[in-house]
Structure 1
């Protein structure tokens, strides 16, 4: 009986604790507290605007009827993100295109709806492979209403949209909170708007692989001081590189490759102390490699200047100051002189391209000691001498060591036995071959003298000359043999 009285209070205590835990758990799930908002409603105007916008891109068949309770609830759309403001859900990110298996995919004739600009909390907007019909259904970036998103939009991206044509609207310069603007692999034409210089908060500006023309605006460098990445590659920009780019103190990556830029590289680029990548390859630049202070870029890891007419001498650069360099591409630049020994101080170097230049002299043997070097191309120069790198070096590099096209360069014959020889390079002529040739000539001379002596001896034995004359003839023959031997 006493045990029964003891168990009853214990059961009551357990029941009370269980109820308390259930209440706490339910409050976490069903809407009480900071995180209990799963069943909170989506703001009606924002919801209707988002539905209309999505239908414009993917087709009117989509109505969100399979979503409960809405795209911000328990069944979200892949590519749509929401955030909670004042008791309601609002759209903060909209990503259109086949990024994931269940992403929103554009129809064959997508269109921008004006409701897009009423999404008042939209922070990120991106389109990937959405507008892909440049001939059947070309589409342009809307030229108006972007100022309505100026207070919220931080990231705007158009990637791989070949059907996205026309100019970059100047009104994009009103997106004062934009931190990232990416227009990559589209069909955009025209010039780069000067108004982009108004985007003072930009960290990344990538306008690459379009069909843009004209000059790079000077205002970009003078105003965009916080940009970390500036990529304008793969267009048809012309004119000179603005010296104002040297004022972009924060730049980590500068890529102006594959354009029609001309003139000399401005000395101001040597001030970019934080730069880790500089790619100016495939332009029409000229000047001299050592004139603009490339060795001041001490943080540089990748330097690509190939396919320009820059010229100059490798010895004019203080390579030791760029000890962190990993990629060095200086091919087809009309460089002259030799490969300096100081290049071998680049201990982090993984790739070295100096092909198709006018380099002369020998390749420094210490290059073979660079521990991380995995690719080296010096083909198409006037380099000379014997390649005395180890068999291990050639085995490691394989076809990634290019030295063909240097007529006066060869490799030691003994390398043949290792099975690893530099591709396209001939073996050196054996030293013994020339000595055997000389000994052959000497043998022919001795043979001729022996024949003469034999004739003299025969003539003396037949009595054609007297005995005294025969002795003198023998002496003469011996002296002649000695003289020829010495010569």
Structure 2
């Protein structure tokens, strides 16, 4: 027994020694790695360039060399990140703007310094609310080629003083993956040179004053990496180039709130991965594009406020879209004909359906009320006729998110729906044959409610104001009102 006990103690002691040795070795390895990072020097030329570049934005009184003698080591700067290359620290990220309390913020006379382009390993450069309207500033037109091998992200957000054109020289940033120029005051055309950025995954130019056509070069067939193309809320003109159909990896195409004309090119049928197509508030023609029936991944189709689009709903092949489509906004598009029964039967994933302010005729399919996920349905401002055959519970659940007024031939059956649950602005069926004398005696006093799809889905889309809610975030707001949004997959925004 004593021998057995001794053996157990020896075994336990041996395991303890091995454990301690392993922990000691790991600690030495961790300490060594940390020590190498902490003691690595910073390239002096890069340090001077960093301080000079930041000085030009935040002002000379900043005194970076005194406050941050080791900006990549023990005295880091908020908004600046560094990486080690060949045992030496180099700045790789610069973010300027009031994101956090201690973030770098631009001075009233902020400007670009030539030393910015001496940061040879810079990967990300972003400016948020940096240039006010009192400080008109243009994006530098030269020297971007110096950052061609490193810069992957370039962003200017909410800079009302950022004026002038988008420099064509940005097309030399061959490593660029994300170019975001949102809510500035940039003017002029979209440079075709941006079509040379073959590694680009996100191109967002929304909320500026850009004009001219959408360059065909943006649809370069080699752009299979591009996921997001958003040039909404500008003054772009002309027709959509058919070359956009070559962007086979595209998830989001938003050209809403512009002045585009012509039909939607059939070549966009090649966008098999597309989840959002937003072309609202333009002057498009040619009817609802037939190719959408082949876009099985499509979740949000927004074509409203294209008054001359025209066409019918019958010939659009809705049954092929299945349950993925969650938002369908076709209000004020000049639609004629009837609402097909198969549209309600097929689009079982619909949360938001707007067909208001068109010239639709015929009965309202009762199956529309049976859509399992519907949260908003707008049919007002058409020539629909007959009896609304929806159950009282539908009206109670939808409230003002269901609209069917301004359809002179439409009525509801008082025997099936009591006055408390009756659809707003719709007469009792007997009143269609009996002319009313004096004001109507119903819950709305004969007045049309104020709510409509134009307030819910397009209230922030007026092109006259230009500085509007970005189309993609606005869409998230709409879907958040009616149910859980369907755009969560677009996390790259």
TM-score band by shorter chain is: 0.7 to 0.9
Match of 2:137, SS state, is coil
- The residue number in structure 2 matching 1:112 is 112
The change in CA–CA distance for 1:301 and 1:19 in structure 2 (over 3 A counts) is closer
Distance apart, 1:387 and its partner CA: 1.3
| 1:279-294 matches, cutoff 5 A | 279-290=278-289, 292-294=290-292
Which structure has the larger Rg? Answer: 1
Counterparts of 2:354 and 2:22, CA distance in 1:
72
Distance apart, 1:412 and its partner CA: 2.3
When normalised by structure 2's length, the TM-score is 0.80
Contact 2:413–2:428, Cα closer than 8 Å, also in 1: yes
- The residue number in structure 2 matching 1:318 is 317
Aligned positions, number: 419
Over the aligned positions, Cα root-mean-square deviation in angstroms equals: 2.7
Contact 1:67–1:76, Cα closer than 8 Å, also in 2: no
Distance apart, 1:103 and its partner CA: 1.1
- The residue number in structure 2 matching 1:160 is 158
Counterparts of 2:336 and 2:108, CA distance in 1:
55
- The residue number in structure 1 matching 2:175 is 177
Please give the per-residue CA displacement for 1:77-104, whole angstroms capped at 9, x wherever unaligned. 2221111112221111111111222211
The change in CA–CA distance for 1:69 and 1:379 in structure 2 (over 3 A counts) is same
Distance apart, 1:33 and its partner CA: 2.9
The change in CA–CA distance for 1:346 and 1:21 in structure 2 (over 3 A counts) is closer
- The residue number in structure 2 matching 1:230 is 229
The answer to whether 1:271 aligns with 2:273 is no
Contact 1:289–1:316, Cα closer than 8 Å, also in 2: no
Please give the per-residue CA displacement for 1:94-138, whole angstroms capped at 9, x wherever unaligned. 1111122221111111011111001111001111111112xx320
Contact 2:392–2:417, Cα closer than 8 Å, also in 1: no
- The residue number in structure 1 matching 2:138 is 140
Counterparts of 1:23 and 1:332, CA distance in 2:
71
When normalised by structure 1's length, the TM-score is 0.81
The answer to whether 1:391 aligns with 2:389 is no
- My pick for the range that moved more, 385-394 or 222-231, is 222-231
Please give the per-residue CA displacement for 1:282-336, whole angstroms capped at 9, x wherever unaligned. 111111225x422121211100111111101100111011111110000101100
The answer to whether 1:239 aligns with 2:238 is yes
Can you give the 5+ residue segments of structure 2 that lack an aligned partner in the other structure? 1-15, 436-493
- The residue number in structure 2 matching 1:402 is 403
The answer to whether 1:363 aligns with 2:364 is yes
- The residue number in structure 1 matching 2:247 is 248
Please give the per-residue CA displacement for 1:211-241, whole angstroms capped at 9, x wherever unaligned. 0111111111125332111111111111110
Match of 1:92, SS state, is strand
Higher helix fraction (1 or 2):
1
Contact 1:93–1:122, Cα closer than 8 Å, also in 2: yes
- My pick for the range that moved more, 423-432 or 228-237, is 423-432
The answer to which structure, 1 or 2, has the higher relative contact order (CA under 8 A, 6+ apart) is 2
Contact 2:129–2:158, Cα closer than 8 Å, also in 1: yes
The answer to whether 1:216 aligns with 2:214 is yes
